[in-house]
Amino acid sequence: MSEFAPRRPEVLDFLLTRRSHPSVTLSAPGPDEAELTAILTAGARVPDHGKLAPWRFVLYRSEQGKVIGERLAQMAEERNGPLDDARREQELTRFTRGTVVIGVISTAAIHPKIPVWEQELSAGAVCLSLVNAASASGYAAQWLSEWYCFDEEASRYLGCGEGERFAGFIHIGTPTQAPFERPRPELADIVTTWQEG
């Protein structure tokens, strides 16, 4: 063991037991400004080949959620026809579930040395880091990508610029119930040892 890599068993325990919480089970309170700053700072500490920071954040506060939901419901209806009550309620409440939603926008672009794929992976690492930071701060979080991640008009409405795309939305709040555990892959099914030939 090196002094430059001290053991942190409590961090490993956290990672071995972490769970996302469904955003529909989140409630107030959420992080205050200092906690949110710490979560965002931790989220930005990810592998980033070339130090490009090929991502940025957009914050959506719960008080803005109703306006956003009304616009998303309108867009969904324009694309799919009249919405039934359940679907309308789903659209109306997408940004009101937790107290804050962090949109992670990938700004990956062609670079002479850094592949776009590596830049996109960095944005994905940001999303997981934000979930973990929120959880480590005593809140619950869920990383979601919904239809509006992939819809050009909706993405622009939510803050994407030209050539950008959402890596996802991190919903943060206080859990109202324990999360359900889900099956995890067996290591024997996903791990091999490389052998030449």
Query: Does 106 count as an annotated binding residue?
Result: no
DSSP string, 3-17: TTS---HHHHHHHHH
Angle between helices 85-92 and 65-80 (to 10 degrees): 140
Query: Does 19 count as an annotated binding residue?
Result: yes
Contact 36, 182 (CB under 8 A): no
Query: Does 55 count as an annotated binding residue?
Result: no
Q: What is the distance between the alpha carbons of residues 79 and 45, in angstroms, rounded to a whole number?
A: 38
Query: Does 145 count as an annotated binding residue?
Result: yes
Q: Which of 147, 142, 159, 144 is nearest to 72 (CA)?
A: 147
Contact 158, 90 (CB under 8 A): no
Beta bridge partners of 166: 105
Phi, psi at 169, each rounded to 5°: -125, 130
Query: Does 79 count as an annotated binding residue?
Result: no
Query: Does 45 count as an annotated binding residue?
Result: yes
Contact 73, 88 (CB under 8 A): yes
Q: Which residues are annotated as a binding site for FMN?
A: 18-20, 45, 49, 143-145
Q: Which residues are annotated as a binding site?
A: 18-20, 45, 49, 143-145
